[in-house]
Amino acid sequence: MATTSTKRKQEQVQGVGAEPSSKKPKKTAGAAPSFAGSWDKLKPILTPWILETIHTTFGFTNLTPVQASLIPLAISKNKDFLVEAVTGSGKTLSYVVPVLERLVAKEAEMAKERAGQGGKAGKGLRRNEVFALVVVPTRELAVQVHAVFELFFQGLRTYVADQKAMNTEDVAAATDDIPEQPQQQQEQIITEESYPSPLLLVSGQTTTSKSTTALPPPSPIIIGTPGRIASYLSTSLTTSSSSSTSAFSRARKHLSLTPFSLLILDEADSLLSSPDHLRNMHTIWSTLPRQQRRNWLFSATMMDVLSERTNGLLGTSGLERAGLKNLTRVVVKVETKVKGRDQEGTGTEAAAAVPAEVKQRRTPVSLQNTYILCQAAEKTLQLVRALRTETNDNGHAKFIVYFSTCAAVDYFYRILRRLPELSHFHFSSLHGHLPPPIRTSTLAGFTTHASTPLRPSVLLCTDVAARGLDLPDVDVVVQYDAPMDPKVFSHRAGRAARMGRQGKGIVLLTKGSEEGYIEFLALRKIPLRRQAYIGPEEQADDDQGGGGESSTAAAAAAGESAQFLVDPAADALQLAIQNIVLEDRDLADKAAKAFVSAVRAYSKHEASYIFRLRELDVFGMGKSFGLLRLPRMPEIRDWKERVRKARERLEKGKAGGEDDERLVLSSWQDRDMNWDEFAYVSKTREAQRLAELKEAESKKDEIAAEREQAAKARREMAEKRVAWSVKKDRKDRKDVRREKKDRKKDWEAREAKRVEAEDVEPTTTLDKPTAAQGSGPAAFDAEDDDEMDEYRDAKKSKKEHHGGNMIQSDMFDDLS
């Protein structure tokens, strides 16, 4: 067996840090995280109430490596930082603590300055003065970070109350010979006591009103999403040129940036790559004072921003353009010592002789990242079986399942909980199209659910829950769809295995087309281990849990290749899902929307050379979604055409290669049913449908005529658009084809005569004259290519006309 040990080290940070802990970090693979010194021994020494809160409220004794690396630097040096450490390694506290320490220092500095200017003694920051901004990409993460700050301020209040109580006791017990409390300490208590709660700016929580009077009052620390922060700042700070002085001063009074010092971007790579976020970030940057502002950037995939050049502000030059120069990098790496041939568990005695190798990885060591290869038609089946085997065999209880679109989450949420084999699971769903209060309650429900293997819980979600969320005790993360942005992969998987806890990740990859993703991730230092296709439970029992390739036994019995044969259980599951869908037409609508949006999402993969839309088995995908019929979309027409051609090639004995093997086995059958009688459960919806049906019936001929006219107009338009050179080219090719056909007829006639005259067997396909010889049947095979060209031309002109999209565009704008 391969053995692993863990070592985390800091890089590019000077030697300031916590004193090393006397306890050795645990070295067992995937055990508790290695800590890097105790909070008590941290230099500089933390402010008493901050230290007390870390100990009593959070219950933490030791620092994590990223905290030990960054906190001393961030408190004592006025620098910009770029911080990368794996998911769940404690990055949040690594900035929260320095922000608070610097706030305390600023408070004291301002108090001194203002006392010097004749201000009220002991008053530092004013109520409208903002000291730090924390920007995060999602409302859920903002709420979480806000709660951490809030815990510290609660800790402060408790600390102050305790101090006061102690002082009162001291006073009561005082005698003349006991010295007074030092003046400085009393002042500090009064000052610190006055911090207002941090301000949270997220959707559904704060108003977007243009009026400053409707805005919540500022706080020294503001946390929020880019859009909300940008609009809050601009509304609070800007006035139109026609505004009166009093309006201006009202606005200035609402918020002041005089002491502003820190801008923190958590999940910074996401904030800097999404065009929407970036637009808001530009507003924020232009509003904040540039000189005195320090920028701290955090993410588990932060270093990627330095190399990528295609999106947003990424790349070093992009960061420089945004004023993010001279960033001090703090990178905490995870190293795995691998003994044996590889780290995928294939070690043997011989392999053990191979010297151990140290490999870096960008995921926690306690995270076991795996992939399952299956057919597109088997994906939902594998999801269902994974949920069951992980609970039954591995005792796991808390799951997150990621889909690529909101519509897919919405649909599968309605389906999975109705499947009898998952009836004991508690499902919840989270995506960006849900109203904020529902998002909040869903997350709270999932977090507090007392999950056990007998009553497991599953959160179905989009990437809205991929980054930063610290959801306790997540055992397994399943990625039904690989993320469009490869950086998100480790963030998703990192919802499990946090802070040294054991966790597992499973990504479902389509056999025959998506295997390249494994190598792709390995190059990004995210090693994946293969997990066998999950067979039926009885089989798993027989195999001691080994599972097997889909339908291997059946295929072997039939003497066929198992490679692309679909597990019969996938057909049974499709039927079961269809039967659920048949209960309400609304579900069929949701299924179609989910399917269409998922296909469109597929076309948006950044790693498009791995996730090729052309390779997407839409029939199989339709089965996995339990569709009753396939929606009309160009991708399906294209796939149908390719399947047809592959079958033709097979009939002609020309089929070859994996591609054809897959296409030939791909099949689709619409459910035989009467759609006119398929009703909505909602009475109003159904009444509306019936009315529309009646109207359509009465206008049937009119509609058909309109359609015919529209199709004709489209054809004419397409014809007009075709360039003269293309038309000529087409005519030339037509002529060539005609010539070939004539030659073929000619040859056939001659061949028939020869067979009759010489009384011989006709020429077979094996002894055909070659195309180069120009007169045999092979010379006519080029027709296939011509037809294909023509098909492509027609498709292209049609695509140009329709913008390549027959489906409503809102179906796709659905990714998180």
Ligand X SMILES: Nc1ncnc2c1ncn2[C@@H]1O[C@H](COP(=O)(O)OP(=O)(O)OP(=O)(O)O)[C@@H](O)[C@H]1O
DSSP sequence for 259-281: T--EEEEETHHHHHHSHHHHHHH
How many positions of this chain bind ligand X (CB under 6 A)? 19
Instruction: State the Cα–Cα distance between residues 440 and 430, nearest whole angstrom.
Output: 9
Q: How distant, in Å, are the alpha carbons of 260, 288, 769 from that of 110?
A: 12, 19, 95
Stretch that binds ligand X, among 62-70, 156-164, 302-310, 749-757 (CB under 6 A): 62-70
Binding residue for ligand X, selected from 6, 46, 91, 189, defined by CB under 6 A? 91
> 656 with 635: CB under 8 angstroms?
no
Stretch that binds ligand X, among 55-63, 287-295, 598-606, 677-685 (CB under 6 A): 55-63
Instruction: State the Cα–Cα distance between residues 509 and 519, nearest whole angstrom.
Output: 13
- The residue among 68 and 665 lying less far from ligand X, judged by its C-beta, is 68
Render the burial of 499-522: b for 16+ CB within 10 Å, e for the rest.
ebbebbbbbbbbbbbbeebbebbe
Site string for ligand X, 600-629 (x = CB under 6 A): ------------------------------
Min dist. Cβ of residue 67 to ligand X (A): 6
525 phi and psi, to 5 degrees?
A: 65, 35
- The residue among 63 and 478 lying less far from ligand X, judged by its C-beta, is 63
- The residue among 339 and 498 lying less far from ligand X, judged by its C-beta, is 498
Query: Residue 627: CB partners within 8 Å, gap ≥ 6?
Result: 578, 591, 592, 595
- The residue among 94 and 375 lying less far from ligand X, judged by its C-beta, is 94
Min dist. Cβ of residue 153 to ligand X (A): 17
- The residue among 300 and 815 lying less far from ligand X, judged by its C-beta, is 300
- Token pair 């047809």 in the structure block, residue: 644
Instruction: State the Cα–Cα distance between residues 356 and 342, nearest whole angstrom.
Output: 10
Residues in the chain: 816
Binding residue for ligand X, selected from 53, 92, 404, 440, defined by CB under 6 A? 92
Binding residue for ligand X, selected from 84, 107, 378, 470, defined by CB under 6 A? 470
Residue 251's CB is within 10 A of a number of other CB atoms, namely 17
Min dist. Cβ of residue 486 to ligand X (A): 16
Coil/strand/helix, residue 745? helix
Min dist. Cβ of residue 63 to ligand X (A): 5
Instruction: State the Cα–Cα distance between residues 786 and 795, nearest whole angstrom.
Output: 14
Nearest to 536 by CA among 581, 573, 574, 580: 573
Binding residue for ligand X, selected from 4, 6, 38, 89, defined by CB under 6 A? 89
Min dist. Cβ of residue 476 to ligand X (A): 16
Stretch that binds ligand X, among 91-99, 284-292, 526-534, 629-637 (CB under 6 A): 91-99
- The residue among 107 and 266 lying less far from ligand X, judged by its C-beta, is 266
- The three-point CA angle 757-758-763 to 5° equals 110
- Contact between 46 and ligand X per CB under 6 A: no
Stretch that binds ligand X, among 90-98, 562-570, 782-790, 796-804 (CB under 6 A): 90-98
Site string for ligand X, 245-284 (x = CB under 6 A): ----------------------------------------
- The residue among 70 and 338 lying less far from ligand X, judged by its C-beta, is 70
Min dist. Cβ of residue 158 to ligand X (A): 19
- The residue among 100 and 598 lying less far from ligand X, judged by its C-beta, is 100
Min dist. Cβ of residue 490 to ligand X (A): 9
- Contact between 93 and ligand X per CB under 6 A: yes
Instruction: State the Cα–Cα distance between residues 342 and 349, nearest whole angstrom.
Output: 13
Instruction: State the Cα–Cα distance between residues 449 and 444, nearest whole angstrom.
Output: 8
Site string for ligand X, 296-335 (x = CB under 6 A): ----x-----------------------------------
Binding residue for ligand X, selected from 10, 38, 47, 64, defined by CB under 6 A? 64
- The three-point CA angle 794-605-365 to 5° equals 160
Min dist. Cβ of residue 145 to ligand X (A): 9
- The residue among 300 and 601 lying less far from ligand X, judged by its C-beta, is 300
Min dist. Cβ of residue 363 to ligand X (A): 11
Secondary structure (H, E, C), 465-497: HCCCCCCCCCCEEEECCCCCCCHHHHHHHCCCC
Binding residue for ligand X, selected from 53, 69, 87, 363, defined by CB under 6 A? 87
Coil/strand/helix, residue 96? helix
Binding residue for ligand X, selected from 468, 483, 503, 505, defined by CB under 6 A? 468
Taken in order 623, 627, 630, 632, the sign of the CA dihedral is negative
Min dist. Cβ of residue 308 to ligand X (A): 18
Min dist. Cβ of residue 268 to ligand X (A): 11
Radius of gyration of the chain (CA): 33
Instruction: Kindly state the DSSP code that residue 676 receives in the 8-state scheme.
Output: G
- Residue 779 Rama label (left phi>0; alpha psi -120 to 50; beta): alpha
- The residue among 300 and 377 lying less far from ligand X, judged by its C-beta, is 300
**Residues 489-528 close enough to bind ligand X by CB under 6 A:** 494, 498-499
Instruction: State the Cα–Cα distance between residues 369 and 492, nearest whole angstrom.
Output: 11
Stretch that binds ligand X, among 45-53, 63-71, 379-387, 729-737 (CB under 6 A): 63-71
- The residue among 468 and 527 lying less far from ligand X, judged by its C-beta, is 468
- Contact between 90 and ligand X per CB under 6 A: yes
597: tokens are 């949006």
- Contact between 60 and ligand X per CB under 6 A: yes
Residue 805's CB is within 10 A of a number of other CB atoms, namely 13
- The three-point CA angle 198-200-204 to 5° equals 155
Residue ranges that bind ligand X, judged by CB under 6 A: 60, 62-64, 67, 85, 87-93, 300, 468, 470, 494, 498-499
